[in-house]
């Protein structure tokens, strides 16, 4: 899903408002995550034929951090457009875009090491979303139950999204300040998430260091 499409989702959420606890943003995040295109271990091997799984994982983190930085820089530049009152839309759009990048990264790190989650698509993506929330290795969770209103995972996700959206304010400063700060912050945070999850996944006794 492209950043422009995510921005459209963000605009719709912002127009309707985010309810108490951020439930509307939670629902939109779940919807975005469910549609993420995740490359399988075999696809990653074909795309990076001369790399080990460890090297592929390093590249995945680097590329995700670069993409996240690009989103931050773009949103920072939006903030200087005069007479366009889109502050909430920008925040939500950036949050959805960056979360999509990071959850896709989490899923593909698991695939690179051969410990991808099996099961239905909703359960797999809920598992990776839960891993993103806690920056850990994923375990299979029942999608519909895990994210039900009032569930512990939904509450943690709501808090994580609220913090992430609040921190995105740095992207909305004056031109150059906003662009630089947004890019720097997003790159740092996505790299932090990626490295934490990579370390957790690599520590899984079932992780495979070679293809095949």
Digit-by-digit pLDDT tens for the chain (212 residues) are 554 555 555 445 444 444 444 447 888 899 999 999 999 999 999 999 999 999 999 999 999 999 998 887 666 555 555 544 445 667 777 888 899 999 999 999 999 999 999 988 888 999 999 999 999 999 988 766 677 777 888 899 988 988 887 666 555 555 445 556 678 888 999 999 999 999 999 999 999 999 97
Q: How far apart are CA 5 and CA 37, in angstroms?
A: 14
- 209 within a domain of the structure (yes/no): no
Question: Who contacts 146 (Cβ-Cβ below 8 Å, separation ≥6)?
Answer: 126, 130, 153, 154
Q: Which of 118, 121, 110, 111 is nearest to 144 (CA)?
A: 121
In a domain, 212, yes or no: no
The verdict on residue 20 lying in a domain is: yes
CA dist 173 → 76, 170, 179 (Å) = 7, 6, 8
pLDDT of residue 12: 52
In sequence order, what are the residues at sequence separation of 6 or more whose Cβ sits closer than 8 angstroms to the Cβ of residue 75? 90, 93, 94, 168, 171, 172, 178, 182
Sign of CA dihedral 188, 10, 116, 142: positive
Residue 207 maps to a domain: no
What confidence score (pLDDT) does residue 36 get? 95
Range of the domain at 64: 3-202
* Domain count along the chain: 1
The pLDDT, as a whole number, for residue 151 is 86
Residue 208 domain-assigned (yes or no): no
Asked whether residue 122 is assigned to any structural domain, the reply reads yes
**Confidence at residue 87, expressed as pLDDT on a 0 to 100 scale:** 54
pTM score, two decimals? 0.84
The answer as to whether 210 is a domain residue is: no
């Amino acid at each position: 899903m492209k950043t422009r499409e995510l921005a459209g989702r963000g605009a719709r959420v912002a127009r309707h408002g985010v309810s108490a606890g951020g439930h509307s943003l939670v629902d939109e995040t779940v919807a975005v995550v469910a549609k993420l295109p995740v490359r399988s271990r075999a696809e990653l091997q074909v795309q990076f034929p001369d790399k080990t799984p460890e090297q592929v994982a390093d590249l995945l983190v680097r590329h995700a951090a670069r993409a996240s930085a690009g989103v931050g820089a773009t949103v920072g530049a939006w903030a200087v457009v005069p007479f366009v009152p889109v502050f909430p839309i920008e925040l939500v759009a950036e949050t959805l875009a960056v979360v999509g990048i990071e959850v896709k990264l989490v899923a593909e790190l698991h695939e690179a090491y051969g410990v991808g989650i099996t099961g239905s698509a909703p359960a797999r993506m809920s598992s990776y979303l839960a891993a993103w929330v806690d920056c850990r290795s994923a375990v299979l969770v029942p999608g519909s139950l895990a994210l039900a209103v009032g569930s512990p995972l939904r509450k943690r996700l709501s808090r994580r999204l609220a913090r992430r959206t609040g921190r995105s304010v740095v992207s909305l400063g004056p031109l150059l300040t906003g662009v630089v700060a947004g890019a720097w912050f997003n790159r740092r945070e996505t790299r932090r998430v990626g490295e934490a999850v990579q370390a957790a996944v690599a520590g899984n006794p079932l992780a495979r260091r070679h293809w095949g």
